[in-house]
Structure 1
Amino acid sequence: MNAFPLGPLACEFYDRGRKIVLLRPFAFKDGDRYVLVPKHTTSDFNSVPRGLWNVFPPWHYPEAGVVHDYLYRNGGYPEPARVRAPLTRAEADAVHRRILELTGASWFLRWASHRALRLFGGRAWDSARKAQ
Protein backbone atom coordinates (compact mmCIF):
# COMPACT_ATOMS: atom_id res chain seq x y z
CA MET A 1 0.00 0.00 0.00
CA ASN A 2 1.31 3.45 -0.93
CA ALA A 3 0.56 6.32 1.40
CA PHE A 4 1.68 9.50 3.04
CA PRO A 5 0.23 8.45 6.41
CA LEU A 6 0.50 11.77 8.19
CA GLY A 7 -1.26 13.66 5.41
CA PRO A 8 0.00 16.66 3.47
CA LEU A 9 2.98 18.76 4.44
CA ALA A 10 2.36 21.26 7.21
CA CYS A 11 5.06 23.88 6.87
CA GLU A 12 5.99 27.50 7.22
CA PHE A 13 8.00 29.51 4.71
CA TYR A 14 11.10 31.47 5.59
CA ASP A 15 14.13 32.97 3.80
CA ARG A 16 11.81 34.99 1.54
CA GLY A 17 9.84 31.90 0.57
CA ARG A 18 12.87 29.90 -0.57
CA LYS A 19 12.80 27.42 2.31
CA ILE A 20 10.32 25.73 4.59
CA VAL A 21 10.32 24.32 8.09
CA LEU A 22 7.97 21.47 8.97
CA LEU A 23 5.35 22.26 11.60
CA ARG A 24 4.64 18.57 12.20
CA PRO A 25 6.32 15.28 11.24
CA PHE A 26 5.90 14.04 7.69
CA ALA A 27 6.02 10.38 6.72
CA PHE A 28 6.46 8.53 3.46
CA LYS A 29 5.43 4.89 3.23
CA ASP A 30 5.75 2.69 0.19
CA GLY A 31 5.46 -1.05 0.79
CA ASP A 32 7.97 -1.85 3.51
CA ARG A 33 9.92 1.39 2.97
CA TYR A 34 9.10 3.99 5.61
CA VAL A 35 10.72 7.38 6.12
CA LEU A 36 9.77 9.68 9.00
CA VAL A 37 10.84 13.31 8.65
CA PRO A 38 10.64 15.02 12.06
CA LYS A 39 9.01 18.31 12.96
CA HIS A 40 11.28 21.37 12.52
CA THR A 41 13.16 19.80 9.60
CA THR A 42 14.08 22.42 7.00
CA SER A 43 14.12 22.04 3.23
CA ASP A 44 14.71 24.11 0.12
CA PHE A 45 12.21 21.95 -1.74
CA ASN A 46 13.87 20.38 -4.79
CA SER A 47 17.29 21.84 -5.54
CA VAL A 48 16.86 22.99 -9.11
CA PRO A 49 19.17 25.51 -10.83
CA ARG A 50 17.33 28.78 -11.38
CA GLY A 51 17.66 28.50 -15.18
CA LEU A 52 15.51 25.36 -15.12
CA TRP A 53 12.68 26.71 -12.96
CA ASN A 54 10.42 27.00 -16.04
CA VAL A 55 10.79 23.25 -16.62
CA PHE A 56 10.80 22.08 -12.99
CA PRO A 57 9.90 24.72 -10.41
CA PRO A 58 11.56 23.63 -7.13
CA TRP A 59 8.35 24.13 -5.14
CA HIS A 60 6.44 21.59 -7.25
CA TYR A 61 6.26 18.18 -5.58
CA PRO A 62 7.64 19.45 -2.26
CA GLU A 63 7.10 16.07 -0.58
CA ALA A 64 9.88 14.58 -2.69
CA GLY A 65 12.28 17.39 -1.84
CA VAL A 66 11.56 17.33 1.89
CA VAL A 67 12.09 13.57 2.23
CA HIS A 68 15.17 13.60 0.00
CA ASP A 69 16.75 16.55 1.85
CA TYR A 70 16.16 14.75 5.14
CA LEU A 71 17.73 11.51 3.91
CA TYR A 72 20.78 13.30 2.49
CA ARG A 73 21.34 15.35 5.65
CA ASN A 74 20.89 12.41 8.01
CA GLY A 75 23.14 9.84 6.46
CA GLY A 76 20.32 8.00 4.76
CA TYR A 77 18.69 7.07 8.06
CA PRO A 78 14.93 6.87 7.46
CA GLU A 79 14.04 7.70 11.08
CA PRO A 80 15.41 10.15 13.62
CA ALA A 81 16.03 7.34 16.15
CA ARG A 82 18.33 5.54 13.68
CA VAL A 83 16.80 2.19 14.53
CA ARG A 84 16.82 1.04 10.91
CA ALA A 85 19.74 0.59 8.58
CA PRO A 86 20.60 3.70 6.57
CA LEU A 87 19.70 3.96 2.92
CA THR A 88 22.44 4.33 0.35
CA ARG A 89 22.62 7.45 -1.78
CA ALA A 90 21.14 5.50 -4.70
CA GLU A 91 18.24 4.35 -2.51
CA ALA A 92 17.63 7.91 -1.27
CA ASP A 93 17.54 9.11 -4.88
CA ALA A 94 15.13 6.28 -5.76
CA VAL A 95 12.83 7.38 -2.90
CA HIS A 96 12.76 10.88 -4.43
CA ARG A 97 11.85 9.42 -7.82
CA ARG A 98 9.13 7.23 -6.29
CA ILE A 99 7.55 10.15 -4.43
CA LEU A 100 7.50 12.12 -7.69
CA GLU A 101 5.70 9.19 -9.28
CA LEU A 102 3.17 8.89 -6.44
CA THR A 103 2.43 12.62 -6.50
CA GLY A 104 1.76 12.68 -10.24
CA ALA A 105 4.98 13.95 -11.84
CA SER A 106 5.43 13.10 -15.51
CA TRP A 107 7.74 10.32 -16.63
CA PHE A 108 10.14 12.89 -18.12
CA LEU A 109 10.29 14.95 -14.94
CA ARG A 110 10.95 11.83 -12.85
CA TRP A 111 13.68 10.69 -15.24
CA ALA A 112 15.34 14.12 -15.51
CA SER A 113 15.36 14.81 -11.78
CA HIS A 114 16.66 11.34 -10.98
CA ARG A 115 19.40 11.70 -13.59
CA ALA A 116 20.38 15.10 -12.15
CA LEU A 117 20.52 13.66 -8.62
CA ARG A 118 22.72 10.80 -9.76
CA LEU A 119 25.06 13.14 -11.66
CA PHE A 120 25.25 16.08 -9.26
CA GLY A 121 24.04 14.90 -5.84
CA GLY A 122 27.31 13.30 -4.77
CA ARG A 123 28.78 16.52 -3.45
CA ALA A 124 25.79 17.20 -1.16
CA TRP A 125 25.76 13.58 0.03
CA ASP A 126 29.50 13.62 0.76
CA SER A 127 29.44 17.00 2.55
CA ALA A 128 26.61 15.80 4.81
CA ARG A 129 28.67 12.70 5.67
CA LYS A 130 31.65 14.86 6.64
CA ALA A 131 29.47 17.12 8.80
CA GLN A 132 28.28 14.21 10.95
Structure 2
Amino acid sequence: MLLQAVHHIAIICSDYQRSKTFYTETLGLSVIREVYRMERDSWKLDLALNGHYIIELFSFPDPPPRSSRPEALGLRHLAFSVEDINKAVRELNARGVVTEPVRTDPHTGKLFTFFTDPDGLPLELYETT
Protein backbone atom coordinates (compact mmCIF):
# COMPACT_ATOMS: atom_id res chain seq x y z
CA MET A 1 0.00 0.00 0.00
CA LEU A 2 1.35 3.41 -0.95
CA LEU A 3 -0.43 6.35 0.67
CA GLN A 4 -0.55 9.40 -1.56
CA ALA A 5 -1.93 12.18 0.64
CA VAL A 6 -4.40 13.00 3.37
CA HIS A 7 -7.79 13.00 1.66
CA HIS A 8 -9.84 14.82 4.30
CA ILE A 9 -10.36 15.41 8.00
CA ALA A 10 -13.81 14.85 9.56
CA ILE A 11 -14.96 17.08 12.40
CA ILE A 12 -18.17 16.76 14.41
CA CYS A 13 -19.42 20.04 15.85
CA SER A 14 -21.95 20.91 18.54
CA ASP A 15 -23.38 24.03 16.87
CA TYR A 16 -23.45 23.68 13.09
CA GLN A 17 -24.04 27.33 12.18
CA ARG A 18 -21.38 28.58 14.61
CA SER A 19 -18.79 26.10 13.29
CA LYS A 20 -19.75 26.73 9.66
CA THR A 21 -19.19 30.46 10.23
CA PHE A 22 -15.86 29.82 11.97
CA TYR A 23 -14.43 27.56 9.25
CA THR A 24 -15.75 29.61 6.31
CA GLU A 25 -15.67 33.22 7.48
CA THR A 26 -12.97 33.19 10.17
CA LEU A 27 -10.56 30.69 8.58
CA GLY A 28 -11.61 31.34 4.97
CA LEU A 29 -12.30 27.79 3.80
CA SER A 30 -14.67 27.56 0.84
CA VAL A 31 -17.82 25.47 0.64
CA ILE A 32 -17.79 22.64 -1.88
CA ARG A 33 -21.11 21.09 -0.91
CA GLU A 34 -23.63 21.30 1.91
CA VAL A 35 -26.11 18.50 2.49
CA TYR A 36 -28.78 17.93 5.11
CA ARG A 37 -29.22 14.21 5.82
CA MET A 38 -32.76 13.97 7.14
CA GLU A 39 -32.49 10.32 8.19
CA ARG A 40 -29.65 11.25 10.59
CA ASP A 41 -30.81 14.79 11.44
CA SER A 42 -27.32 15.79 10.40
CA TRP A 43 -25.64 18.43 8.26
CA LYS A 44 -22.52 17.58 6.26
CA LEU A 45 -20.42 20.43 4.93
CA ASP A 46 -17.50 19.72 2.59
CA LEU A 47 -14.84 22.44 2.79
CA ALA A 48 -11.82 23.27 0.65
CA LEU A 49 -8.57 25.10 1.27
CA ASN A 50 -7.02 26.66 -1.83
CA GLY A 51 -9.30 24.54 -4.02
CA HIS A 52 -8.39 21.26 -2.31
CA TYR A 53 -11.01 19.27 -0.42
CA ILE A 54 -9.85 19.10 3.18
CA ILE A 55 -12.58 19.04 5.85
CA GLU A 56 -15.94 17.33 6.35
CA LEU A 57 -17.89 19.23 9.00
CA PHE A 58 -20.72 17.20 10.54
CA SER A 59 -23.50 17.99 12.97
CA PHE A 60 -25.36 15.30 14.92
CA PRO A 61 -27.98 15.64 17.63
CA ASP A 62 -26.32 15.60 21.06
CA PRO A 63 -22.82 14.36 20.16
CA PRO A 64 -20.88 13.15 23.21
CA PRO A 65 -17.95 15.32 24.33
CA ARG A 66 -14.44 14.17 23.54
CA SER A 67 -11.36 14.96 25.57
CA SER A 68 -8.83 17.02 23.68
CA ARG A 69 -6.60 18.56 26.32
CA PRO A 70 -4.19 18.21 27.91
CA GLU A 71 -2.41 15.61 25.82
CA ALA A 72 -5.44 13.31 25.50
CA LEU A 73 -5.12 10.07 23.57
CA GLY A 74 -6.04 10.33 19.88
CA LEU A 75 -5.82 13.10 17.33
CA ARG A 76 -3.82 15.87 18.95
CA HIS A 77 -4.51 18.81 16.62
CA LEU A 78 -5.04 19.95 13.04
CA ALA A 79 -2.28 22.21 11.67
CA PHE A 80 -2.55 24.78 8.88
CA SER A 81 0.53 26.15 7.15
CA VAL A 82 0.88 29.91 6.74
CA GLU A 83 3.51 32.12 5.13
CA ASP A 84 3.48 34.85 7.81
CA ILE A 85 2.42 33.66 11.26
CA ASN A 86 2.37 37.11 12.83
CA LYS A 87 0.02 38.42 10.14
CA ALA A 88 -2.21 35.34 10.50
CA VAL A 89 -2.32 35.77 14.29
CA ARG A 90 -3.28 39.45 13.93
CA GLU A 91 -6.09 38.48 11.52
CA LEU A 92 -7.42 35.78 13.86
CA ASN A 93 -7.22 38.08 16.88
CA ALA A 94 -9.08 40.81 14.95
CA ARG A 95 -11.85 38.24 14.36
CA GLY A 96 -12.08 37.48 18.07
CA VAL A 97 -10.03 34.26 18.04
CA VAL A 98 -7.66 33.93 20.99
CA THR A 99 -4.24 32.51 20.10
CA GLU A 100 -1.45 31.27 22.31
CA PRO A 101 1.88 33.11 22.22
CA VAL A 102 3.92 32.33 19.09
CA ARG A 103 6.66 29.82 19.82
CA THR A 104 9.64 28.44 17.91
CA ASP A 105 9.86 24.75 17.06
CA PRO A 106 13.21 23.75 18.61
CA HIS A 107 13.85 21.13 15.92
CA THR A 108 13.01 23.13 12.79
CA GLY A 109 13.34 26.73 13.92
CA LYS A 110 9.86 27.44 12.49
CA LEU A 111 7.27 29.58 14.25
CA PHE A 112 3.92 28.14 15.40
CA THR A 113 0.95 28.85 17.63
CA PHE A 114 -2.28 27.21 18.74
CA PHE A 115 -5.92 28.27 18.95
CA THR A 116 -9.22 26.40 19.09
CA ASP A 117 -12.36 26.05 17.02
CA PRO A 118 -15.76 26.78 18.62
CA ASP A 119 -15.84 23.30 20.20
CA GLY A 120 -12.32 23.46 21.62
CA LEU A 121 -10.64 21.38 18.88
CA PRO A 122 -6.96 22.36 18.98
CA LEU A 123 -5.81 24.02 15.75
CA GLU A 124 -2.28 25.10 14.90
CA LEU A 125 -0.74 27.65 12.58
CA TYR A 126 2.74 26.65 11.41
CA GLU A 127 4.89 29.09 9.44
CA THR A 128 6.38 27.26 6.47
CA THR A 129 8.53 29.96 4.88
TM-score by length of 1: 0.25
- Structure showing the higher helix proportion among its residues: 1
TM-score by length of 2: 0.25
Highest CA radius of gyration, 1 or 2?
2
Structure with the bigger RCO (C-alpha within 8 Å, sep 6+) is 2
